[in-house]
Amino acid sequence: MKAGMFFTGSGTLLVLTSYDSLNNPKLISKFATKGIKKFIAYEVPEDKVKEKYGNHYDVVLGDLHQTDDLRVLDYDGHHAFYNFSLKDLGEPIYYEP
């Protein structure tokens, strides 16, 4: 399971995904169908996400299939961004078609 913070033209999203990476072509395709065609993403440690989101994390994860899926854990960009230190974020992944 991966957790990622995605910075898009419409705001910041915190996403849980069963894809192997945040730049997996199938994940990128799912974002494109939602109108997200470019982004900067950072992997966030899953344990920190679980710590910050508690029961909400469990509920969202329970709804996540273990193969080829994703769920938005937080679409409130302000909340998602300020919930984590920049030191918690992994290396940036830039995607632009």
Q: Which residue has the tokens 């080829």?
A: 68
Q: Which residue has the tokens 């974020």?
A: 89
How far is the C-alpha of 9 from the C-alpha of 60, rounded, in Å? 24
Lowest model confidence (mean pLDDT) among 8-17, 32-41, 62-71: 62-71
Q: Is the pTM of this model over 0.85?
A: yes
| Residue 62: CB atoms within 10 Å | 8
C-beta separation of 48 from 84 below 8 A:
yes
Confidence of residue 94 (pLDDT cuts 50, 70, 90): very high
Looking at residue 57, its pLDDT comes to: 86
Instruction: Encode pLDDT of 56-80 as tens digits.
Output: 888 887 765 555 488 889 999 999 9
